[in-house]
Amino acid sequence: MSSESQIVAVDMFCGVGGLTHGLTKAGIDVRLGVDLDPACRFPMEQNNSAKFLEADVSELCASDILAAFGDAKVTLMAGCAPCQPFSSYSQSARREKQHADWGLLASFSSLVLSVRPTFVTMENVPPLRKQEIFEQFVAALKEAGYHVDFEVVDGRDIGLPQRRQRLVLVASILGPIKLPKISKPKVTVRDTIAGLPPIAAGKADATDPLHVSASLSATNLKRIRHSKPGGTWRDWPRDLVAPCHARDTGSTYPSVYGRMEWDGPAPTMTTQCYGFGNGRFGHPAQDRAISLREAAMLQSFPRDYAFVPRGKPINFNTLGRLIGNAVPVLLGEYIGGVLTEHLKAHGH
């Protein structure tokens, strides 16, 4: 039950609920999460008190959002649209698709302008800042009377054990709002995953089916045995180096097939973060890639966050996509903290 002055939120593009979970920890009452991926329903509803609506955001009406807000006085619309179309590598390669996906930010924008919540937030990759669609979004918010601030937040500064930079926007109808720079103590891979039971490549922990690592071919098993934490494939004996590496001068591939370092941050968790060959996703000490549970914890999900119903199969592609695409819970908590403090400062 929320109080009169509690912020009531709707989370569009909610995924597995990373943002929702963080906002909730900051005291926000998230009532509804919307996503077109049905795999998001279970984690969203199981770990949060929000309801899940399987729908295309571009087909939603203002009345769907207003119904979720009910008679709430202070409201928030959050919308972390898919970020791949905005990442720099895709700029030239997928223009057609980009246009389709940019439209999702436009859909979010037009819903915001119809609903007129008290607050708006969104998160995406930093290159979005330079896109016309983002400038149009900010201009439309300002024209509608919102105060807007946006910053690139470094995950390490908010206690994330991972290199991850994200563009965060907050907007308020109440008055000037600012995303403060914070600098929490640095958290490492060791702080986050050292306590998990050891598992072998291709095996799962008996008590936690998500603590499962992808199997490795005989060659990749040899490769990981020769991989040093923080090192590259250049540490391997020559016969294990793939032809594409051997031909290459080393400028483009050193970050694949790596092991993480215990006392540093993990690399950015991606949708492929469970694969040893896909980045520096090797466990610092065990001869395997990180497990899906470790990936989720490096994204700051609690140890017991449930992603699939008990007894249901674990699919690496699906879970990798859901976990790699998630907004880190800590980032949600940071955003939620900014909004709740701002609300207090405005007399609520």
Ligand X SMILES: C[S@@+](CC[C@H](N)C(=O)[O-])C[C@H]1O[C@@H](n2cnc3c(N)ncnc32)[C@H](O)[C@@H]1O
Binding interface with ligand X (CB under 6 A): 13-19, 34-37, 40, 56-58, 80, 82-83, 104, 325-327
When the beta carbons of 164 and 259 are compared against ligand X, the nearer one is: 164
CB-based contact 313:145 (threshold 8 Å): no
When the beta carbons of 264 and 324 are compared against ligand X, the nearer one is: 324
When the beta carbons of 45 and 261 are compared against ligand X, the nearer one is: 45
Which DSSP category does 241 fall into? S
- In whole angstroms, the minimum distance from the beta carbon of 20 to ligand X comes to 6
CB-based contact 13:326 (threshold 8 Å): no
- In whole angstroms, the minimum distance from the beta carbon of 58 to ligand X comes to 5
Q: Tokens standing for 3?
A: 């109080």
With residue 319 as reference, give the H or E element that holds it: helix 316-324
Is 14 annotated as catalytic? no
CB-based contact 281:273 (threshold 8 Å): yes
The Cα–Cα gap between 10 and 50 comes to: 9
CB-based contact 290:276 (threshold 8 Å): no
- Phi/psi at 74 (5° precision): -120, 120
When the beta carbons of 107 and 118 are compared against ligand X, the nearer one is: 107
- In whole angstroms, the minimum distance from the beta carbon of 200 to ligand X comes to 30
When the beta carbons of 49 and 219 are compared against ligand X, the nearer one is: 49
- Phi/psi at 34 (5° precision): -120, 130
Residue partners of 216: CB distance under 8 A and separation at least 6? 201, 202, 224, 276, 287, 288, 289
CB-based contact 150:169 (threshold 8 Å): yes
**Pick the catalytic residue: 14, 40, 83, 273?**
83
- In whole angstroms, the minimum distance from the beta carbon of 245 to ligand X comes to 31
When the beta carbons of 227 and 340 are compared against ligand X, the nearer one is: 340
The Cα–Cα gap between 153 and 203 comes to: 36
Instruction: State whether the Cα torsion 267-269-271-274 is positive or negative.
Output: positive
- Residue 279 amino acid letter: G
The Cα–Cα gap between 131 and 5 comes to: 35
Measured at CB, which residue is nearest to ligand X?
A: 15
The Cα–Cα gap between 284 and 289 comes to: 9
Catalytic residue numbers read 83
